[in-house]
Structure 1
Amino acid sequence: MRKFLLLSLLALLLAAVTGYGVWTQQRSSGHYLSDLRIRLAVNQGVAGAHGNLLGLQPELFPNDYQSPARLRRKLAAYLQQARGLGLLNEKTIVVLPEHIGTWLLLRDEKDELYQALDQQEAMNWLMFGNPLKLLGALFNAKGRSFLEDARLRMKARTMAEDYQALFGGLAKEFGVTLVAGSIVLPDPSVEQGTLKIGKGALYNVSLVFAADGHPLGQPQRKLYPTFDERGYIKGGGRQELTAVQTPAGKLGVLIGTDSWYPDNYSKLDELGVSLIAVAASLPGQNSWDKPWRGFKNAATPAEISLRPGELGEGEAWHRLTLISRAPASQSTAGISVFLHGQFWNQRYSGQSFISQDGRSIAARDGSDRGARLLNLWLP
C-alpha cells in the first residue's frame, strides 16, 4: 500500500512539473488595439537648413511590449505622423524617453502578466513564467535589491538585441538620428557595431543611432542613479560623459536626473556639445505637480541651494535643467522628453519641454494623457 501511495505521489508530482513546464512555454499574442494618435504640442522656430530636435513623448502600456513588432508599429505610426507634418529630415534628431527600452523585458509573456491588477502581481507572473532564466539571473545578481536585479537581468540578452533592432531600424527607416531613450542592461558595450551585454552590474544606459541604423559611440550610462534605483542600478563610476557627432551638431545625452547636476554641463561644454538630449521618466500619478523631494542621491551638488518642498516637481525640473543657460551651459539648445503611460497601477507623469536661450518651452495644456510631439527648429 505504501509503495502504491509513493508511486501515486511521484506520478502526481511528475504530472504537475510537466504541466508547469508546458505552461511556461505557452505564449499568447492576442489581439490588441493600440491608440496610434499623437499631437504636435510645441513647434518652436522656423524650418531651415540646420535641422531640428524632435521629442517624441509616447503613451505606452504593458501590451505594447508584448512583441517588438507591436511596439515598433506604434512608434513608427508616431514618426509617420511627424513626417506628414514635415518634421523629419536628414538633420532631425529624434529623442525618446528614459526606460522606453527597459520595458522590453515584457516581451512574449503570459496573458496573466498583462492582465495583472498591479505591478507587483505582474512581476510575480514574470518570474513564475521564466523559472530557468530567473534561476540563472539570481546566480549573477549584483545589486542590494537582489530580486529586482535578477528580474531585470534574466532577459538581458534578448532585450539588448530587441533594443538595437527596434530603434536602429526606426532610425534607418525614417532617415533620422535617434536617441533611443534608455534601457537597463548588465555592463553593456558596443562591439563591432553590435550592442553586447556583460556579466557585471546593471546600468541605465542610452544609445544613439545614426540614420543608417548603426550605433554612434558607446552607451551613455546614467551617472547618478536616484535613491530608489541605487539598490540595483550602478552609477557611471569612472565613465565620463561622451558626445556624438550628428548632422545637426555635436550631441550630448543626459539620463533622467543627471540633468540636474551643474558639473555635467561643464563636462559637455569641454566636449564642445551644442545640443543636449535628456531622456527622463517620472513615476507616480500627478507627481509633476507634487512638492519636489530633493536629489534623492548622496551626490547632492554643493552649489544647489534649492530645498525639498520649496517648489513643485515640475518647477524643479525646469530650474535644475541648465541647458543653454550661460555661463552654466554653452549649448545652443536641448530637449527633455518624459515617458508617459500606465503600467498596471503605476502611472508615469512628467511634462516634456524644450530648452533654448536660457528658457523652457512646454506644452500649454499640461495634460499627462496622450502622446505628444515637441519640435524645435535649430537656428
Structure 2
Amino acid sequence: MRKLLSGALALVLLAALGGYLIWAEQRPEGHYLSDLRIELALSEGIPSGQGNLLGIEPLLYPGDYQNLTRLHRKLAAYLEQARVQGLVNERTVVILPEHIGTWLWARGEKKEMYQVTHLREARQWLELSNPLRYGLAMVAAQGDDRRADAHLRMKAGQMAADYQQLFGGLAKEFGVTLVAGSIVLPEPYLDHGILRAGSGALYNSSLVFAGDGSVLGQPQRQQYPDGSTRRFIEPGTAYPPQVLDTPAGRLGVLVGSDAWYPSNYQQLAGQHAQIIANPAFVDGKGAWAGPWRGNRHQPLAADLSLKPGEVSEDQAWYRLSSDGVPAGIASMSVFLRGQFWEVRGEGLGFANLNGLHLASAGHGARLLNLWL
C-alpha cells in the first residue's frame, strides 16, 4: 500500500512538473494599440549638405517590447515621419536614447507580464516563465544586485541578436548612420561583425550602425555608471571613448552621465571628433525638474563643477554637457521617454553648437534636429 501511494504521489508530481514546464513555454500574445505620433520639438540651422543630427525620443511602454515587429513598427514610423519632413538623408546621424536596447529583456514573454503595474511583479513573471534560464543565470550572477544581473544575463544572447537585427535593420532601411542608444550585456564583443554576449561583468554599451546595416567600431561602454545601475553594471574605463568616421563627420558617443565629465570630451577632441552623440535616461516622476542627484558613487564626480542638490536635474545636464563640449563640436543629448511599469523616463533632449545651448520642449514622442 505504501509503495502504491508513493508511486501515485510521484506520478502526480511528475504531471505537475510537466504541466508547469509546458505552461512556462507558452507565449500567447494579446492585442496592443500603439501611438505612432511624434512632434518636431527642436529644429535648428539650415541644410548645407554637411548632414544633420536627428534625435528620436520615442514614447515606449512594455507592450512595445512584446515582439520585435511592434518595436520596429513604432521606430520606423518615427523615422518615416522625419523623412517626410526632409530630415533624413545619407549624411544623417540618428541618435536613440540610453537603455532602448536594455528593455529587450522583456521581449517574448507571457502577456500577463505586460499587464502588471509594478516592476517587481514583472520580474516575478519573468522568473516563473523561465525557470531553468533564471536558475543558471543566478549561479553566474555578479555585482551587488545579483537578481537584476540574472534578469539581464539570462536573456543576453537573445537581446544581443535582437538589438543588432532591429537597429542595424533600421539603419539599412533608412540609409542613415544610427547610434543605437544602449543595451546592458555581459562582456559584449563583436565576432566578425556580429554582436555577442560574453560571460563576464555587465556593461552598458552602445553600438553605431552604418547606412548598410554594418557595425562601426567596437561597443562603446559607459565609463561611469550612475544611479541604481551601478549595483550591477561595471564601469567601462578600460575601454575609453572612440571616434568613428561617418558621412557627417567624425563621431564620438558618450553614454548617459559620461557626458558630465570633461576628461571624456578631451579624449574625443584628441581624436578629432566633430560631433558627439549622448544617449541618456533620467528615471523618476518629476525627476527632470527636481534636484540634481549627482553621481556620488564615482570618485571623479568630486571634481565636477556642480554639487548634488545645487541645481535642478535639467539645469545640471545643460551645464555639464555644455561646459565640456569643445568649440566647433556639435553635440546632442537624447532621452528615453515613456513608462516601464513604475519606471518613468523624464528627460527632454537638447543640443549644443558653437557654445550655444539649444533646449527643447514638448510632450509625448519627440524629434530633435540639428543641421551641421
TM-score norm. by structure 1 comes to: 0.95
Q: CA deviation at 1:301?
A: 3.9
Where 2:30 maps in the other structure, the secondary structure is coil
CA deviations on 1:176-203 (whole Å, 9 max, x unpaired) are: 0000000000101112111111111110
Give the conservation status (yes or no) of the 8 Å contact 1:324–1:332.
Answer: no
- C-alpha distance in 2, partners of 1:29/1:47? 44
**1:251 CA drift (Å):** 0.3
Q: Which residue of 1 aligns with 2:63?
A: 63
| Residues 134 and 154, structure 1, Cα contact 8 Å, conserved in 2 | yes
> Which structure carries more helix by proportion?
2
Q: Which residue of 1 aligns with 2:371?
A: 377
Deviation at 1:3, TM superposition (A): 3.1
Does the CA-based 8 Å contact 2:260-2:324 persist in structure 1?
A: no
Q: Note the alpha carbon deviations across 1:103-154, whole angstroms, 9 max, x for none.
A: 1111110111111120110011111111111122122212221111111100
Q: Which AA in structure 2 matches 1:357? A: N
Instruction: Report the Cα offset of residue 229 of structure 1.
Output: 1.6
CA distance in 1, matches of 2:227, 2:114: 28
Q: Does 1:342 align with 2:339?
A: yes
Relative to the length of structure 2, the TM-score reads 0.97
- Asked if 2 retains the 8 angstrom alpha-carbon contact of 1:323 and 1:356, the reply is no
User: What corresponds to 2:330 in structure 1?
Assistant: 333
What corresponds to 1:132 in structure 2? 132
In the alignment, the residues of structure 2 paired with residue 70 and residue 323 of structure 1 have an alpha-carbon distance, to the nearest angstrom, of 39
| Counterparts of 1:296 and 1:37, CA distance in 2 | 38
**Does structure 2 retain, via aligned residues, the 8 Å contact 1:269–1:331?**
no
Q: How does 1:92-103 map to 2 (within 5 A)?
A: 92-103=92-103
Q: Distance in 2 between matches of 1:57 and 1:274?
A: 22
One-letter code aligned to 1:375: N
Aligned to 1:280: 280
Kept in 1, the 8 Å contact 2:46–2:371? The answer is yes
The worse-fitting range, judged by mean Cα deviation, of 229-238 and 280-289 is 229-238
Counterpart-to-counterpart distance in 2, 1:221 and 1:290: 28
Residues 1:364 and 1:237: Cα distance change in structure 2 (over 3 Å):
closer
Match of 1:363 among 351, 356, 360: 360
CA contact (8 A) 1:249 1:275 kept: yes
Q: Which amino acid aligns with 1:53?
A: L
Q: Report Cα offsets for 1:348-375 as digits up to 9, x if no partner.
A: 101111111213212234x4xx100000
| Aligned match of 1:254 | 254
Bigger mean CA deviation after superposition, 14-23 or 294-303: 294-303
After superposition, the CA RMSD in angstroms is 1.3
Instruction: Give the distance between the partners of 1:359 and 1:315, measured in 2 at CA.
Output: 15
SS in structure 2 opposite 1:374? strand
Distance, in Å, in 2 between the alignment partners of 1:226 and 1:364 is 25
Please state whether the residue corresponding to 2:211 is helix, strand or coil. Answer: coil
Secondary structure in 1 matching 2:228: coil
Q: Percent identity?
A: 53
Q: Per the alignment, in what secondary structure is the counterpart of residue 173 of structure 1?
A: helix
What is the Cα deviation at residue 323 of structure 1? 6.6
One-letter amino acid of the counterpart of residue 367, structure 2: L
Structure 2 letter corresponding to 1:59: L
> What is the alpha-carbon distance in structure 1 between the residues aligned to residue 324 and residue 284 of structure 2?
29
- Residue type of the partner of 1:22? I
Q: Does 1:354 align with 2:351?
A: yes
* d(CA) in 2 for partners of 1:24, 1:356: 52
Relative to structure 2, which stretch is displaced further, 118-127 or 291-300?
291-300
Between stretches 232-241 and 88-97, larger displacement belongs to 232-241
Q: Which amino acid aligns with 1:363?
A: S
**Contact 2:261–2:324 (Cα < 8 Å) also in 1:** no
What does 1:77-226 correspond to in 2, within 5 Å?
77-226=77-226
1:324–1:333 CA contact under 8 A, matched in 2:
no
Contact 1:61 1:342 in 2 (8 A): yes
Give unmatched runs, 5+ long, in structure 2. Answer: none
Runs of 4+ in 1 over 4 A off after TM superposition: none
Is residue 12 of structure 1 aligned with residue 8 of structure 2? no
Greater mean alpha carbon deviation, residues 50-59 or residues 220-229: 220-229
Match of 2:31 in 1: 31
Aligned-partner Cα distance in 1 for 2:180–2:248:
17
Alpha-carbon distance in structure 2 between the residues aligned to 1:342 and 1:169: 25
Q: What count of residue pairs does the alignment treat as equivalent?
A: 372
CA deviations over 1:274-332 (Å, ceiling 9, x no partner): 1000000011111101111122322234542312111110011101103774xxx2452
Gapped regions of structure 1 (runs ≥ 5): none
Any idea what SS the aligned residue of 1:320 has?
helix
Residue identity in the other structure for 1:81:
Q
Q: Structure 1 residues 315 and 37 mapped into 2: Cα distance closer, same or farther (>3 Å)?
A: same
Supply the AA of the counterpart residue of 2:55. G
What is the distance in 1 between the residues matched to 2:21 and 2:277?
Answer: 45
| 1:35–1:81 Cα change, 3 Å | same
